Amino acid sequence: MFAGAQLFRTMVVMAKSPVSGLSVRLAADKSGASRLCNELFRFRFGMRPELGAGDNVFQLHINPIGRPAPDEIWFTDGPVSSERVGDYAITQCADYLAIHVEIDLEPGTDFKELTTRVYRELLQLTRERDYPNLVRVWNYFPGINVGAGDHELYRQFTAGRAVAFGGFEGELLPAATAIGTDEGTPLTITMIAARHQCRMIENPRQTSAYKYPRQFGPSSPSFSRAVVVAAESGYRILMSGTASIIGHQSMHLDDPAQQTAESLRNLDQLIQQARRATRTSNGADEILTDGCLRIYVRQPAQVTEIKTALRDFLVDDPNVVFLRGDICRRELLLEIEAAGSI
């Protein structure tokens, strides 16, 4: 049994920092817009957006598996303001800025060019408002595995993002997720940026994504495995979409239970690396507290096997949302992202 058998536990960790907190929780309340003054934004899942939900309710056009998913609320310690600038919904507080955009895709769209343009506009907004440090990005679009070789849509997306980043190579890259959604859904991107510098975390079990070999496309993916943010309430880790990959090779093909276990081992390693980097002590290196997970599953029929594997490796029952989505590699059956205190 690996250390991840105690991957999640509910505890409180204290640290000192002048920066306001950034936390996430699930809440079933879906009545209109975000109402608490310290809600930076909330994610709402599903294919049917609610009209008039508010500029700080960010719709993700991806369906939950099984029961409806509660809203995922990202909140901070102080007052939040929100507005809309063109296609972009923007919310901000003293230390963090969140931007959400949805772009309808027309037939024949040059996806690389579109990705470059949207990312450049996002980056411009973060710089203009003096939040220069990217923390977390979510990317959703249909047909992620469509196309052969370098024409695959995910590779076109990766190439376009790299152009916007201007050849950025591994310094202060954000944690990120890229998931394929159902046909007819928009390109949807949500970005969190910070005024202060955050800490990038890599996984020694995996090749850093920005160092992937040429076989995975003309441009390596521009993201880090995780980012740690600090606040008076402690350190919080935001982990990228994490799959069954060792080095740069996909593992446990056609086995959802083993892919789940391998993904959790990778998350566990990120937690341990983050704790070493921040010199945080929480009783055991492997503990992530107040854990919150999203699990993207290619084939909903495999959710039962995945849930069984989760029970084998998690101490408590953390907040988990299962979503139907395609993974960036065709052979991968699931991907897990997580956030929590270390």
CATH number at residue 52: 3.30.1330.40
Joined together, the tokens standing for residue 292 give: 């919150």
pLDDT tens over the chain, length 342 residues:
234 445 544 332 323 345 677 888 887 665 544 455 689 999 999 987 776 678 899 999 999 999 889 999 998 988 999 999 999 999 999 999 999 999 999 999 999 999 999 999 999 999 999 999 999 999 999 999 999 999 999 999 999 999 999 855 545 799 999 999 999 999 999 999 999 989 999 999 999 999 999 999 999 999 999 999 987 778 999 999 999 999 999 999 999 999 999 999 999 999 999 999 988 765 455 556 677 899 999 999 999 999 999 987 775 556 899 999 999 999 999 999 999 888
pLDDT of residue 13: 32
**Could you list the residue range(s) of the whole structural domain that residue 294 is in?**
3-341
- Residue 303 is predicted with a pLDDT of 96
- Which residues are CB-neighbours of 117 under 8 A, at least 6 positions away? 164
Q: Taking the model in full, what pTM does it have? A: 0.92
Question: Could you give the number of structural domains in the chain?
Answer: 1
